[in-house]
């Protein structure tokens, strides 16, 4: 039995390792979808939206009458003396219903419903904001991972170049053409390249784990991006319109809520009118005593009370004097509204500045790609020429090593420019409020 348990545990462990190590292919769109499906923040935003919808439905019920039912049982002792008779309520009961309909509340019900609608709209904007934040984080992690992977490939190519150069120089040294100093220089450069390659691999592993966390897969899952060719199209005309930005809409909703809250506070100074109607049924109430039959003869009697009564009331509540409390509350609400307007004014400028910076980043990022592409082509051509010259013994080893170093730097700059441009594109769409799946 123990052997079977051990074998089952081993099979389960190996199966988990196979699943964990099985690579998954991932495009940018796949990365966004999985990040959205996994995000706890987005799920919380969805729950907040559902709560806001329920709050609006709850506010709607304030227009409708309230139905209330009540039932009372009592055992009263001792009996009550009523002019020689005893009122007995041992086990009396009452049951009834009451309907209450507000007629006028100073606008509280209507304002409360509008406040609930503003809360629902704000929750929807919060969900949009959370959604865009998740997409932006996913794009950032995805393109960062691609950038590091490409740097790993570039470092491996660089290492292959140095290995080839080392073998050629070692052969030349044995033939008496090269010197020990040349081989030592190449050896030192190979060590530096190996160090850079290891750093790039470590960075790729960290970026992979960060991406795994965002899309909700085990941290040891291998991810193979499908966007190996980065398409960097010219940005064209970029809009500076902020109207779709969820942060701006939330600030506007805050001002609207402040206006409605001030109306709600003013309603406390107005009269309230309500209509109530009800019916109550009571029973098991007895009156016992002695009654004169007319000839001096006293006869005992018992009378039971068991009936129902209806009631209708129109109530008016008028606030008269509360030492200025209501007016002070209105003034306080007016300051809250003014603060909300000031926040809108201040943050609108900050949001506009953020959008302008995002537009500038996209434009500058595309220009950097052009410059980096030209520099890479020049470095690639220079490396080709230096290889030919070194092979023909027309240039020293230092020139070839410098050309290889320049090629490595130009390659790294081009990779960073291309991937950073894709991140800038996402950031611009987020800053403009147009980052959707």
What pLDDT does 20 receive? 46
- In which residue ranges of the chain is CATH 1.20.1600.10 found? 24-64+105-270+319-431
For residue 331, what are its two tokens?
């003034």
What's the pTM value of the predicted model, to 2 decimals? 0.84
Taking CA atoms, 287 is separated from 76, 77, 245, 277, 297, in Å, by 13, 14, 76, 29, 19
Question: Quick check: 127 pLDDT over 50?
Answer: yes
Q: What percent of the chain has pLDDT over 90?
A: 67
What pLDDT does 289 receive? 81
What pLDDT does 236 receive? 85
What pLDDT does 14 receive? 38
Give the mean pLDDT of 383-406: 90
DSSP for residue 238: P
- Largest separation between any pair of C-alpha atoms in the chain: 158
For residue 360, what are its two tokens?
């500038």
**Cα–Cα distance, 404 to 198 (Å, whole number):** 18
Cβ distance 422 to 139 under 8 Å? yes
What pLDDT does 77 receive? 83
**Cα–Cα distance, 392 to 400 (Å, whole number):** 12
pLDDT band, very low/low/confident/very high, at 169 (cuts 50, 70, 90): confident
Question: Quick check: 15 pLDDT over 90?
Answer: no
For residue 194, what are its two tokens?
């190996």
Question: Quick check: 136 pLDDT over 70?
Answer: yes
What pLDDT does 174 receive? 85
pLDDT band, very low/low/confident/very high, at 173 (cuts 50, 70, 90): confident
pLDDT: which is higher, 375 or 285: 375
pLDDT band, very low/low/confident/very high, at 11 (cuts 50, 70, 90): very low
Give the mean pLDDT of 101-122: 93
What pLDDT does 21 receive? 53
Question: Quick check: 7 pLDDT over 70?
Answer: no
DSSP for residue 22: S
pLDDT band, very low/low/confident/very high, at 12 (cuts 50, 70, 90): very low
Give the mean pLDDT of 7-30: 59
**Residue that has been written with the tokens 């013994």 in this structure:** 393
**Cα–Cα distance, 218 to 212 (Å, whole number):** 6
Tell the CATH superfamily of the 24-64+105-270+319-431 domain. Answer: Outer membrane efflux proteins (OEP) (1.20.1600.10)
For residue 154, what are its two tokens?
């570039």
Dump pLDDT digits (tens) for 339-379.
Answer: 999 999 999 999 999 999 999 999 999 999 999 999 999 99
Question: Quick check: 89 pLDDT over 60?
Answer: yes
Dump pLDDT digits (tens) for 199-250.
Answer: 999 999 999 999 999 999 999 999 999 987 788 888 888 989 999 999 999 9
Say which range, 280-284, 352-356, 433-437, has the weakest mean pLDDT. 433-437
For residue 351, what are its two tokens?
């949001």
H/E stretch holding 76: strand 66-82
Q: What percent of the chain has pLDDT over 70?
A: 94
What pLDDT does 246 receive? 95
Main-chain phi, psi angles of 368, to 5 degrees: -65, -35
Cβ distance 183 to 156 under 8 Å? no
Average pLDDT, the chain: 89
């Amino acid at each position: 039995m123990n052997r079977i348990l051990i074998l089952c545990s081993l099979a389960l462990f190996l199966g988990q390792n196979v699943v964990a190590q099985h690579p998954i292919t991932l495009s940018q769109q796949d990365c966004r979808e999985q990040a959205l499906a996994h995000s706890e923040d987005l799920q919380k935003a969805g729950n907040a939206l559902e709560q806001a919808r329920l709050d609006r439905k709850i506010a709607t019920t304030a227009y409708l009458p309230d139905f209330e039912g009540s039932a009372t049982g009592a055992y009263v002792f001792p009996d009550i003396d009523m002019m020689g008779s005893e009122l007995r309520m041992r086990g009396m009961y009452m049951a009834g219903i009451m309907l209450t309909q507000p007629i006028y509340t100073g606008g509280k019900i209507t304002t409360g419903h509008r406040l609930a609608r503003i809360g629902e709209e704000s929750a929807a904007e919060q969900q949009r904001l959370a959604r865009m934040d998740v997409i932006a984080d996913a794009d950032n992690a995805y393109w960062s991972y691609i950038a590091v992977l490409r740097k790993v490939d570039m470092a491996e190519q660089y290492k292959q170049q140095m290995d080839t150069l080392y073998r050629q120089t070692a052969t030349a040294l044995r033939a008496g053409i090269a010197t020990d100093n040349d081989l030592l220089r190449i050896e030192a450069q190979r060590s530096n390249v190996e160090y850079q390659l290891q750093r790039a691999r470590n960075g790729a592993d960290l970026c992979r784990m960060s991406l795994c966390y965002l899309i909700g897969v085990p941290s040891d899952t291998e991810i193979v991006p499908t966007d190996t060719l980065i398409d960097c199209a010219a940005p064209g005309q970029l809009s500076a319109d902020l109207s779709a930005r969820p942060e701006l809409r939330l600030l506007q909703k805050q001002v609207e809520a402040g206006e409605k809250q001030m109306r709600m506070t003013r309603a406390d100074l107005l009269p309230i009118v309500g209509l109530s109607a009800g019916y109550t049924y009571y029973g098991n109430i007895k009156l016992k005593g002695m009654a004169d039959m007319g000839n001096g003869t006293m006869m005992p009697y018992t009378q039971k009370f068991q009936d129902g009564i209806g009631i209708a009331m129109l109530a008016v509540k008028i606030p008269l004097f509360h030492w200025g409390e209501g007016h002070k509350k209105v003034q306080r609400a007016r300051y809250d509204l003014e603060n909300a307007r000031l926040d809108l004014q201040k943050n609108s400028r900050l949001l506009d500045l953020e959008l302008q910076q995002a537009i500038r980043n996209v434009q500058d990022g595309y220009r950097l790609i052009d410059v980096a592409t030209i520099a890479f082509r020049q470095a690639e051509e220079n490396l080709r020429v230096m290889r030919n010259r070194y092979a023909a013994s027309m240039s020293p080893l230092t020139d070839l090593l410098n050309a290889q170093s320049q090629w490595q730097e130009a390659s790294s700059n081009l990779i960073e420019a291309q991937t950073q441009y894709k991140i800038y594109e996402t950031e611009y769409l987020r800053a403009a409020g147009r980052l959707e799946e």
